[in-house]
Amino acid sequence: MLINGQACDTLNAQDRGLLYGDGLFETLAVRSGTPLRWERHLQRLLLGCERLSIPDPDVTALTVEALRLCNDRTHAVLKLIVTRGSGGRGYRAPPRPQPTRLLSCHPWPDYPPEHARDGVHVRLCSTRLAQQPALAGIKHLNRLEQVLARAEWRDEEIAEGLLCDRDDHVIEATMSNLFMVSDGQLYTPDLSDCGVAGIMRTMIIETAATLGVPCTVRPITRAELSDATELLLCNSLIGIWPVRQLDARKLVPGPLTHRLQQALESHHD
Amino acid sequence: MLINGQACDTLNAQDRGLLYGDGLFETLAVRSGTPLRWERHLQRLLLGCERLSIPDPDVTALTVEALRLCNDRTHAVLKLIVTRGSGGRGYRAPPRPQPTRLLSCHPWPDYPPEHARDGVHVRLCSTRLAQQPALAGIKHLNRLEQVLARAEWRDEEIAEGLLCDRDDHVIEATMSNLFMVSDGQLYTPDLSDCGVAGIMRTMIIETAATLGVPCTVRPITRAELSDATELLLCNSLIGIWPVRQLDARKLVPGPLTHRLQQALESHHD
């Protein structure tokens, strides 16, 4: 692990990342020494910094450090964290924050290969996402809702859990975004009030456009899921997982999901 | 600083407290080597652990460490943090978490003594608190809303900022709880959906009962604040601050606020 460029496994315990979750993170797939979709993840990180008024981290250092850490990895996960650093008085941030950069490389998770091919079993969580437009979309460090939602099940057969807001809109899953196919068109939830705007979600929206498939971002109610002919989950590590079962309801991984999977395999930027 | 009983200023950077804000904290006043209202803070911490399904930390160790750290301090602040520790896979917690205990002692903040006597100038924040019953009441480490709210003003004359939820209920201030006096009775916001149930808030509710002053916990709309004859803020460090100005409106620290201040000075448990 690298903390502000130094090989180190421990962080100053006064860092605001710990005290308040005052920071952001990114999780990237690494292939043959290269962190995939680096520019996109970097841009989302910088957008998050802007939203939280955290000064931009040193982007050159971040890039050099990421490449250094991934250099000898053929298949791994790179995690970046940027916090507002230490200091300030209580919640009040210091006048000139010195952001902390933490980069770590982790083994590739052992997701079963059938997940991408045959689809996954998903449940609807009872944990609701709170509506907070000030934090929606960005990948900040306040993740207790996801921790609580993921703690709802232990059944190893269930790969993910869907989350709704208080108004019964479905938003995302604990670690992935959701798309639904209905009448041959793609839909994905609006994330103005809650949820993380994933990099893979953006890539699917873009890929749908290149394939000529209409894709709409809008609020989606839980009830609408029953109209879906296909459901899929996505993130930067899993790519696309079709949903083969949502609670009691069975689905079949469908043709649009396969087209998107094939199209995404062919480009990694 | 003591981390799991060891004098240490750095934390394992894989701790879930940093990665997800997966933990709780307490802030206590220290007088003559003693952390005040220790039992109450400990009970709230344990309630938080229960709500988040974090195993109880070693309470004996926590108590011994707190006393050891405060031993030579006449007037200071003790901060406790308990996290779920490290491990797990993504948001999923490890099957047998080993909580991390962090204890640190800090200088007493230089709050002007006039604040308690003459009252403070307070503003209404535009940041709204998200409604999340699963996290309401406990003092968890997901504090970005408070960081964003506190960043709304830099005017040193303004001591605190009030926060409403999306339904225009006033909930609390960034670092303190709120009481209002109306028709000679005390009211404090219901915290079922958001906010931190402060130790000093509970003490005021109890003190009101011993003084024979009716005190009601209920939702309070922002509009109702204009009916208030007195407003006060409270937490474990500041005790009680009367509000002398809320945005443009001036108030006079009133008799009930003074009675509560006097009654609270006489007992510290």
Per the CB < 8 A criterion, the answer to whether B164 and B199 are in contact is no
B93 touches chain A (CB under 8 A): yes
Check residue B45 and give its pLDDT. 98
Check residue A152 and give its pLDDT. 98
- Which of B22, B49, B147 best probes binding to A when mutated, by most A CB atoms within 10 angstroms? B147
Is the pLDDT score of B252 beyond 60? Answer: yes
pLDDT average, residue stretch B71-86: 97
Cα–Cα dist A173/A243, whole Å? 12
Chain A: nearest CA to B147, how far in angstroms? Answer: 5
Cα–Cα dist A242/B228, whole Å? 56
Is the pLDDT score of B89 beyond 90? Answer: no
Question: Cα dist. B83→A148, A262, B24 in Å?
Answer: 14, 42, 6
Name the band, by pLDDT with cuts 50, 70 and 90, for residue B266. confident
Give the single-character DSSP code of B269.
-
Q: In this complex, do A14 and B17 lie within 8 Å of one another by their Cβ atoms? A: no
Name the band, by pLDDT with cuts 50, 70 and 90, for residue B269. low
A81 touches chain B (CB under 8 A): yes
Q: From the CA atom positions of chain A, what is the Rg in Å? A: 19
Cα–Cα dist A42/A50, whole Å? 12
Interval B147-157: pLDDT, tens:
999 999 999 99
pLDDT average, residue stretch B200-211: 97
Number of inter-chain CB pairs under 8 A, A vs B: 163
Q: Where are the alpha helices (DSSP H) in chain B?
A: 16-20, 38-52, 59-70, 114-118, 144-150, 199-211, 255-265
DSSP H or E run through B91: none
Per the CB < 8 A criterion, the answer to whether B180 and B225 are in contact is yes
Check residue A89 and give its pLDDT. 87
Is the overall model pTM greater than 0.95, yes or no? yes
**Segment-wise mean pLDDT, segments of 10 residues, chain A, 269 residues:** 97 98 98 97 98 97 96 96 95 96 96 96 98 98 98 97 98 98 97 98 97 98 96 98 98 96 80
Is the pLDDT score of B120 beyond 80? Answer: yes
Q: Is the dihedral of CA A133, A134, A140, A142 positive or negative?
A: negative
| Helix B59-70 / helix B38-52 crossing angle, nearest 10 deg | 140
Q: Which of A130, A179, A170, A174 is nearest to A153 (CA)?
A: A174
Chain A: nearest CA to B212, how far in angstroms? Answer: 35
Cα–Cα dist B193/B195, whole Å? 7
Check residue B268 and give its pLDDT. 55
Q: Where are the alpha helices (DSSP H) in A103-237?
A: 114-118, 144-150, 199-211
Check residue B96 and give its pLDDT. 95
Name the band, by pLDDT with cuts 50, 70 and 90, for residue B265. confident
Q: Would you name the residues of B annotated as active-site residues?
A: 27, 139, 172
Is the pLDDT score of B220 beyond 60? Answer: yes
Check residue B267 and give its pLDDT. 63
| Facing B143 at nearest CB: one of A3, A53, A91 | A91
Question: Cα dist. A118→A103, A247, A258, B267 in Å?
Answer: 33, 16, 11, 65
B15 touches chain A (CB under 8 A): yes
pLDDT average, residue stretch B6-35: 97
Question: Cα dist. B37→A193, B23, B44, B59 in Å?
Answer: 38, 21, 11, 15
